[in-house]
A and B are shown apart, each in its own frame.
Chain A
Amino acid sequence: GNSVTQMEGPVTLSEEAFLTINCTYTATGYPSLFWYVQYPGEGLQLLLKATKADDKGSNKGFEATYRKETTSFHLEKGSVQVSDSAVYFCALQETSGSRLTFGEGTQLTVNP
């Protein structure tokens, strides 16, 4: 079956530091890949997505590239802010409308 593995957290950084959160996946087909973000007390929001190999998703300074050869979709940001403190989830979806398979989530805390 499908699965998503995220780097273990929590992650604590200082403001303006570089962020990488690793995500690898196992899937039978060619899934679409997502990063969702959850701010305290809220539901999940889509951060970025990529639908095929070598696609790069980007939003709000975050980027992730769909790497089929390494089955990875690592999240990066060059300079984090305190407001980026949240839980980040990597997820995959086989087809439009089908279920999302989530990783465990990574708690990011950014200190001023």
Chain B
Amino acid sequence: DAGITQSPRHKVTETGTPVTLRCHQTENHRYMYWYRQDPGHGLRLIHYSYGVKDTDKGEVSDGYSVSRSKTEDFLLTLESATSSQTSVYFCAISEGATSLEQFFGPGTRLTVL
């Protein structure tokens, strides 16, 4: 299994509070992604990174920011959580240049009350 961990695995928070989710990889892969999974929508890309300090927006980026200060860590921040951000969040990694496959972490279930 690809070495990807996500923390926390579960979180309950209140509307208006800041939340940071962490993705950590031990594969030294260049690309990292944050997706959210919601019923009826499959997985949708929030943000992705193609290198240290290099990030870009996905299709559902509003209300989220990311940072990648080193290869192994990709942080997703909800500056002021809303109930619409209740979801399961998945991190994925990809070597990119010669491999198409994305490897997914175990997910973080976030509930915003």
Question: Cβ of A60 < 8 Å from any Cβ of B?
Answer: no
Question: Cβ of B99 < 8 Å from any Cβ of A?
Answer: yes
Chain A, residue nearest B6 (CB) = A43
Within the complex, which residue of A42, A89, A96, A105 is in contact with B100, where a contact is CB–CB below 8 Å?
A96
Within the complex, which residue of B4, B43, B50 is in contact with A97, where a contact is CB–CB below 8 Å?
B50
Cα-based distance from A32 to B102 in the complex (angstroms): 12
Cα-based distance from A45 to B102 in the complex (angstroms): 9
Chain A, residue nearest B99 (CB) = A96
**Which residues of A79-110 have CB atoms within 8 Å of chain B's CB atoms?**
89, 93, 96-97, 99-100, 102-105
Contact A103 B42 (CB under 8 A): yes
Question: Cβ of B63 < 8 Å from any Cβ of A?
Answer: no
Question: Cβ of A46 < 8 Å from any Cβ of B?
Answer: yes
Cα-based distance from A100 to B33 in the complex (angstroms): 10
Number of interface residues of B (CB under 8 A): 28
Contact B106 A42 (CB under 8 A): yes
Contact B104 A51 (CB under 8 A): no
**Which residues of A28-51 have CB atoms within 8 Å of chain B's CB atoms?**
32, 34, 36, 42-46, 49, 51
**Which residues of B7-30 have CB atoms within 8 Å of chain A's CB atoms?**
30
Cα-based distance from A36 to B92 in the complex (angstroms): 13
Chain B, residue nearest A32 (CB) = B100
Within the complex, which residue of A42, A100, A103, A104 is in contact with B102, where a contact is CB–CB below 8 Å?
A100
Chain A, residue nearest B88 (CB) = A43
Q: In the complex, what's the smallest C-beta–C-beta distance from A33 to chain B, in angstroms?
A: 10
Contact A43 B45 (CB under 8 A): no
Contact B42 A102 (CB under 8 A): yes
Contact B96 A89 (CB under 8 A): no
Question: Cβ of B58 < 8 Å from any Cβ of A?
Answer: yes
Interface residue ranges, B against A (CB under 8 Å): 4, 30-31, 33, 40-45, 48, 50, 58, 90, 92, 94, 96-107
Interface residue ranges, A against B (CB under 8 Å): 4, 32, 34, 36, 42-46, 49, 51, 89, 93, 96-97, 99-100, 102-105
Top 10 nearest A-B pairs (CB, nearest first) are A97-B96, A102-B42, A43-B104, A44-B104, A102-B43, A99-B45, A104-B42, A43-B106, A97-B31, A105-B42
